[in-house]
Amino acid sequence: MTHWFHRNPLKATAPVSFNLYGVASSPAANKICNDLRTTRARLLDMFTDATCTPEIMKKSSDEYFALIQGFILPLDGTTQENKLRFIQNFKWTDTLQGNIASAQQDAVFELVSMAFNVAVWYSKFASRLETHIPRLITPAEKGRDLEPRVIDTYIVQSQAEAQEVTIARAIELKHNASLIAALSFETANFYQKADHTLNTLDPECSSKWKKYLQLKQHFYMAYAHCYHGQTLLAGDKCGEAIRSLQEAEKFYSRAEALCKEYRQMKGPGSTAKPSEQLFFKKLGTFIKNTLEKCQRENSFIYFHKVPAETPALELKASYGLAEPTPFELPPLSAQCTPEVYATFDLTKGPKEDKAKAKHDEEIKPVKEPDLKPQKDTGCVVS
């Protein structure tokens, strides 16, 4: 994955003590604060733990989300804001903005920021994050992670990358060429949509990401035209097949050029090396061999004229499309009862946190594990 997919860095965050001395006026209330601190720290550790599995991540995130909702959901039988929502300050960096953190004294900001990181870790869960974002008191600034354009791009990229796995599997199992062409075409369209979503974002923070999305779009357009050419040849349309494969060559050459441009760009995130992978290289060879075969057969059998216009890719996959897995927050922790909630006394404000940082504090980036790629079979992409 580290060599095939571009990954923006995880969000980093400042430690949170949840020291609500005075406010938490019962043992049960103090236990909630202590558990919030320990479950948050444990969840953050999971982001950098190379041995963390999806099951462990779900358990760790559920434990924290179940507790933090006690600072968000109304617990006093009314529809008013939870009195604890704005009591604790939280600081998070953004994946495209470097190490300078933004801060909000809002538990909803903490929930969506942590959920964003979990979504990046899972990738496929990103499409369910927007439900809480409209509740933020302070709107997301342009280019920040919770801004609609950035969220939407992550969602579409996640769908595209999930579909890449389907394409690799279809090729490995030698599925019908028309299905592979249709899946590739739709995947290319996902990448183009993601690229266009970033068009109005500051190029300084988005150019590298956009270049990755563009190279993937061209790569899968090459796949679509290549396999569409195979379909046309099977239907005895050799001239159209040649033209389709010539178009595949153009898209593949452009994808190679975009790979070089991408590697030379500076910006947030890891630098993938797709053009060095067997899955990438095999396509170039496959296009060349298939085109030569079509040209030979046209010279000896079909004698078809090669059209000037590229055959249209009016393709729609009938099955195999990736669907996002629904994501739901866990139930509220059993510790967060109305009785315990009543023992948080806001008239006795918490002591000033000596470690409280400024709004624009620089936070050390998350040191993510360096995962070595598996043996490259030429088909598996992650």
Chain segment 26-69, per-residue pLDDT in tens: 999 999 999 999 999 999 999 988 778 889 999 999 999 999 99
Could you tell me if residue 17 is inside a domain? Answer: yes
Domain housing 48: 10-125+327-358
Q: What per-residue confidence (pLDDT) applies to 69?
A: 97
Tokens matching residue 275: 């053009």
The verdict on 17 and 96 lying in the same domain is: yes
Could you tell me if residue 229 is inside a domain? Answer: yes
- Intervals of the chain under pLDDT 50: 1-2, 124-129, 354-355, 357, 377, 379-382
Q: Rounded to an integer, what distance in angstroms lies between the CA atom of residue 373 and that of residue 276? A: 13
Could you tell me if residue 163 is inside a domain? Answer: no
Q: What per-residue confidence (pLDDT) applies to 318?
A: 64
pTM > 0.85: yes or no: no
Q: Rounded to an integer, what distance in angstroms lies between the CA atom of residue 207 and that of residue 162? A: 23
Could you tell me if residue 297 is inside a domain? Answer: yes
Could you tell me if residue 72 is inside a domain? Answer: yes
Q: Where are the extended beta strands (E) located within the chain?
A: 90-92, 102-104
**Domain harbouring 67, CATH code:** 1.25.40.280
The verdict on 186 and 292 lying in the same domain is: yes
The verdict on 18 and 119 lying in the same domain is: yes
3-state secondary structure of 308: coil
Asked if residue 108 lies in contact with residue 70, where contact means CB atoms within 8 angstroms, the answer is no
Asked if residue 95 lies in contact with residue 359, where contact means CB atoms within 8 angstroms, the answer is no
The verdict on 341 and 294 lying in the same domain is: no
Number of domains, the chain: 2
Tokens matching residue 67: 């507790």
The verdict on 336 and 270 lying in the same domain is: no
Q: What per-residue confidence (pLDDT) applies to 335?
A: 97
The verdict on 183 and 292 lying in the same domain is: yes
Asked if residue 109 lies in contact with residue 88, where contact means CB atoms within 8 angstroms, the answer is no
Query: Element (H or E) spanning 189, and its range?
Result: helix 177-197
Closest CA to 223 of 159, 162, 168: 168
Could you tell me if residue 306 is inside a domain? Answer: no
Could you tell me if residue 4 is inside a domain? Answer: no
Closest CA to 345 of 64, 50, 83: 83
